[in-house]
Structure 1
Amino acid sequence: MRHITAAVAALSLVLVGAGGAQATPAEGPVPAPPADGPVPPGPVALDDPEFTANVMAPLKVTDWADFEADLETVAAYGVDAVSVDVWWGDVEGAADNQFDWSYYDRVFDLITSKGLDLAPILSFHQAGGNVGDDYTSLLPSWLWPKYADERHHGVELGPTGLQYQSEQGNHSAESVQGWADEVVLDEYRDFTDAFEQQYGDVYADEVVEVNVSLGPSGELRYPSYNQHDEGTGYPTRGALQSYSPLAVQDLRSEMLHRYGSIEAVNAAWGTDLASVQEIAPPEDADAFFTDLDHLDTQYGRDFVDWYNGSLVEHGERVLWAVIDSLCGDFPEADIGYKVPGIHWSMTNPAHPRAAEVTTGLIQTSLDLDSWATGHGYQRVVELANRFDGGPREVVMHFTALEMDDDPVEPAYSLAQTLVEWIGDYAYRAGVDLKGENALAGGVGSDEGWDNINEAFETWGYLGLTVLRMGDVSSGIGAARYAEFIKTYSPDV
């Protein structure tokens, strides 16, 4: 089939892709790549004052002496700032609107005492249960019962009403589902207000970016390969997460709005649904992917468009809530959001690009083989542009910069190709793009650093945050990061 052939051929598209930009109403026009193929953006970070070299702190500091020693090491070779998860469940976990900042008072004071800036993450997600997690912090326990008796859009929430529900019928408590944003936005505002009141004066100039958690692991994605479901981890397709009553209701409303009537829906989909109440996510999700319905049917493309669009709209709502709450405090701070590199199952002939679909990152109504559409990532990348003219610069972060392609069984991965696609499209869309490594071990090898260097030399990345600080405080990690910083900040 065309889609399978195109997916397997994706490596060659890096060199020969072509096409014209197709803007959607929510995004502005993006310059088309040249007819004979895209021209890589090149090393845009060279001597750019917006270049940043950051490190991530541990999920939770337990050895303060080691932490201080690592801070001194990275500060000495030119690291700019430390990214720190500010766990909602730790700060406000005891009771609603009761905040304990004592741990962060100590962490922030120690970081800034070494001459390093701060890049806090407002972590509205759970720590624990994901790759590399060595600490657990659950969402506040009072959150779920607080809204259990409420109704939203006619749906009685109950004890799990704020949570994603998967195709397997399981609920995820790692983050609040995007379809419940309107219920909990005031909670995010309250937390951001409290953070600003605690640190707005103390670290007015030291906070250089506020990164906002938009989903599990702090990423703009659905929990499609997380622990609440069985058999959905790497390198599977994962599981769809759109089966909660709020999600199903939103799907029905969107399709009725799009087509105008159930008769028009049936005409478009070739179905004989008796009422709007029969509009639903895929009943057999396995068949939805193995039959390539996600690519080749109008129902499948409409469903995936809605699923992806819902995720992006969730990101926009939460980012605006934080931006509005910060007002003029931390005047030097950009706002950041993170998009994960879901690089596996991309060339799997059984269900190409399926893992990216279940995480919500791509549209299948677009030409997935075209540079003009960001190979399906158009809306996710251009989320940053929805804030143009606003009070804050919004920056996108993308992971997997250290990884190679592995387009064969079992991974079917195009990790390095994906880094290139995102870099090219973000550059043409005018989006400031920064990068991260996906796995800590990736910065302990020369191969990983060679891939990071290629991303910066060729594909327009503007800054790097290394996961984690301990991996670049000695050995190859420290030597290569110091060399990298000297390249892009020669005065360091």
Structure 2
Amino acid sequence: MKTHMKKIALAMTLAVTATAWADNATSAAVMAPLEVNNWSEFENQLASVKSIGVTGVSVDVWWGKVEANGDQQFDWSYYDTIFQKIENAGLHIIPIMSFHQCGGNVGDDCNIPIPSWIWNKYTNQGVSASDLKYKSEYGNESVETVSLWRDDYVLSEYKEFMEAFEAHYASKANLIDEVNVSMGPAGELRYPSYNAHDGGLTGYPTRGGFQAYSEPAKQDFRNWAIAKYGSVSGVSNNWGVALNSANDINPPSNAGSFINNGDQYNTAYGRDFIRWYHDALMDHGYRMMDNAILAFDGAFANVELGFKIPGIHWKMSASDNTKRSAEMAAGLIPSDVDLNSASTGYGYGDIVGVAASYNNHPRDVVLHFTALEMNDDPNGGGQSLAQSLVFWVANEAAAQGVSIKGENALSGGVTYDGGWDNIVNAFTYASYSGMTVLRINQVASGTGNYRYQQFINQFLVEAPNGGDWQRTVIFMFGTTTTGQDMFIRGGLDHNYANTNLGKNCSTSNYECAMPIRHNNLRNSTTAGWKGGDQYLDWYGIEASQGSGAVGTALDWTTNNASNSATVAADGYGYEPLNTYGDHYWMLDVEMDCSATVNGWFELKSYISNGPGWEADVAQAGTPYNSGNHFAQCGKINVFQRNSSSATIGTF
């Protein structure tokens, strides 16, 4: 029933006209490449995403890149460059304090290990390199991040790094929207339960692998069990097993059998082991966030902080004892609560509670969650409930008063309409308040570009590019035959703008263009022409528009409510704003009114494969003389081809 209801919700979402600015998204960001190798390409990508309304760029600040040469030897040169390019593009920065390795995770295309000197720094204190690493149930050690069971040693290193970052970039505090804190592998609050060090034994879609087999981890488990039951004998009695000493208290000797037999649910030992393992991760989250608050107490004292949890969506619908096992191996959920109840957030109450614990703190803490683009696939090989999980976590965040923002889990998820439909569904019916797209190259062009533009137009709470963005509609009457489409070009007259407005439109064409973001991308015929159309301009096809565009594309509309096609569902056809008749072609955009002349701009229509340009007109009451139509930004403007008449009204 839940899946069925979500499908209905999705259908409702897609039927809603994407014209009004919603009130539930405050940011629309993109992730920078893990490491930029082509600066020219990156600059072009920045310009492209800026033009569609993206607000900021998330950047991994790799500990292993900055402090590779030695303890306290910081090299910020790469970040000086990338931050400046982001600033030059007019975008804000969301740095990630990346205390994890770059490489070894899904989609990684770089190799930046954490600083090599960290592994031997504490040997004179009796802490070996192995003590600093996670060790799996298979005996393999992870080098992706330092184990949480040695936070007592490395937290000071993280704090020094964050303090150095704040000191170096204090002057850019006004450009930094949030600092995200890496809390584990891939920057997420989790164990490396499905990572490369286990040689494929624990990857998707397996149950994962427990990572609690290092000596510090085992000692912590022993201390926790004895503290709970008072003594080794108390542990023995409650678990119903013979224990001769504390050293007999250990993680499962055969984790496969432990899970397959259902011990995690059905035995006191199993429930306790999962609870300790889970709580150890929660405690690490608190320590990391407390540490960040202490570190960022200067120029960044008022900057939001955030952290991310992953959408581990596989093994969720299993019918055997492996159900929810992948999430447990990652440490995200315990096994001693009702995992089928909204009252526990379906197991996510504790981890959402890490963020909620700072609700009364002056510093806001934002929770980030992945997998917004994914479907439920309970009967597939992954036994996935990804979309359900997206709602479970968001609903729990809302219940605990936590600000939550979303991401796509896989970069390919934003290159096709189905992924974006799921993202729109999540923002329409759940509490997500911001989006960060993985990764910038996926939305710099193509389907990802125009769908993110559409998303921004629909959901962002305020105009992301500055200026004065307002919904603007143009109707142009003109009859056509099959194979003909209507376009307009427009902007400001070059000579007028050069002489009266101080613009240099001869050198920089787009000085006289109107920045736009299309609200209607549902017409399959015109969507390709609109997706890369960022300006109403005089110059024809833009570099990112689909082949065949002659300017900015319009859609055929009618006032006949019995018409089988509608603008709301199909992108053309019946449109309530059209009160005039058939053949009124419509442009529906958000336009930056600050680029106009006191709200006015010019336009002229063109019909492809036929009549071509309309004749000059002589419209009355315009700000200067022109042979073109004049429209007003933020209004409904109605014209007829080859006619000087104009009707301009409000919404």
Same fold (TM over 0.5): yes
1:438 aligns with 2:409: yes
SS at match of 1:139: coil
Q: CA RMSD in A?
A: 1.7
Deviation string 1:224-268 (CA, Å, 9 cap, x unpaired) is 111111311110011100011111111111111111122221222
Deviation string 1:376-407 (CA, Å, 9 cap, x unpaired) is 11111110022233341011000000000111
Alpha-carbon distance in 2 for matches of 1:436, 1:333: 21
Contact kept, 8 Å, 1:208 with 1:330, in 2: the verdict is no
Which among 428, 431, 434 is matched to residue 399 of structure 2?
428
Contact kept, 8 Å, 1:165 with 1:241, in 2: the verdict is yes
Q: Which residue of 2 aligns with 1:308?
A: 278
Q: Within 5 Å, which residues of 2 pair with 1:24-423? A: 46-48=22-24, 51-151=26-126, 157-200=127-170, 202-230=171-199, 231-350=201-320, 351-423=322-394
Measured after TM superposition, the shift of residue 274 of structure 1 is: 1.6
Contact kept, 8 Å, 2:397 with 2:404, in 1: the verdict is yes
Deviation string 1:134-158 (CA, Å, 9 cap, x unpaired) is 111001011101112323xxxxx21
Contact kept, 8 Å, 1:384 with 1:396, in 2: the verdict is yes
Alpha-carbon distance in 2 for matches of 1:341, 1:279: 31
Of the structure 1 ranges 384-393 and 335-344, higher mean CA displacement relative to structure 2 is found in 384-393
Contact kept, 8 Å, 1:111 with 1:117, in 2: the verdict is yes
1:487 aligns with 2:451: no
Q: Which residue of 2 aligns with 1:474?
A: 445
Alpha-carbon distance in 2 for matches of 1:103, 1:421: 39
Measured after TM superposition, the shift of residue 10 of structure 1 is: 7.9
SS at match of 2:28: strand
Alpha-carbon distance in 2 for matches of 1:470, 1:114: 15
Deviation string 1:153-185 (CA, Å, 9 cap, x unpaired) is xxxx21221100110111100001111001111
Alpha-carbon distance in 2 for matches of 1:349, 1:70: 45
Alpha-carbon distance in 2 for matches of 1:372, 1:393: 24
SS at match of 2:172: coil
Deviation string 1:305-330 (CA, Å, 9 cap, x unpaired) is 11011001101101111111110322
Alpha-carbon distance in 2 for matches of 1:432, 1:289: 34
AA of the residue aligned to 2:115: P
Alpha-carbon distance in 1 for matches of 2:286, 2:6: 30
Contact kept, 8 Å, 1:336 with 1:395, in 2: the verdict is yes
Measured after TM superposition, the shift of residue 12 of structure 1 is: 8.0
Q: Which residue of 2 aligns with 1:454?
A: 425
AA of the residue aligned to 1:187: E
Higher strand share: 2
AA of the residue aligned to 1:443: V
AA of the residue aligned to 1:259: Y
Identity %: 48
Higher RCO (CA 8 Å, separation ≥ 6 residues): 1
Of the structure 1 ranges 190-199 and 481-490, higher mean CA displacement relative to structure 2 is found in 481-490
Contact kept, 8 Å, 1:207 with 1:332, in 2: the verdict is no
AA of the residue aligned to 1:454: N
Deviation string 1:1-29 (CA, Å, 9 cap, x unpaired) is xxxxxxxx9858989xxxxxxxxxxxxxx
Normalization by structure 2: what TM-score?
A: 0.67
Alpha-carbon distance in 1 for matches of 2:197, 2:215: 18
Alpha-carbon distance in 1 for matches of 2:424, 2:3: 19
Of the structure 1 ranges 263-272 and 397-406, higher mean CA displacement relative to structure 2 is found in 263-272
Contact kept, 8 Å, 2:194 with 2:209, in 1: the verdict is yes
Q: Where does structure 1 differ by over 6 angstroms across 4 or more consecutive aligned residues?
A: 12-15
SS at match of 2:146: coil
Determine which structure has more spread, i.e. the larger CA radius of gyration. Answer: 2
Alpha-carbon distance in 2 for matches of 1:86, 1:491: 28
The total of aligned residue pairs comes to: 448
Normalization by structure 1: what TM-score?
A: 0.88
Measured after TM superposition, the shift of residue 333 of structure 1 is: 1.8
Contact kept, 8 Å, 1:242 with 1:281, in 2: the verdict is yes
Alpha-carbon distance in 2 for matches of 1:445, 1:356: 27
Alpha-carbon distance in 2 for matches of 1:319, 1:83: 19
AA of the residue aligned to 2:356: N
Structure 1: runs of 5 or more not aligned: 1-8, 16-44, 152-156
AA of the residue aligned to 2:40: A
Measured after TM superposition, the shift of residue 105 of structure 1 is: 0.2
Measured after TM superposition, the shift of residue 409 of structure 1 is: 4.2
Measured after TM superposition, the shift of residue 491 of structure 1 is: 5.1
Q: Which residue of 2 aligns with 1:38?
A: none
AA of the residue aligned to 2:172: Y
Contact kept, 8 Å, 1:75 with 1:114, in 2: the verdict is yes
Contact kept, 8 Å, 1:203 with 1:330, in 2: the verdict is no
AA of the residue aligned to 1:465: T
Structure 2: runs of 5 or more not aligned: 8-20, 464-651
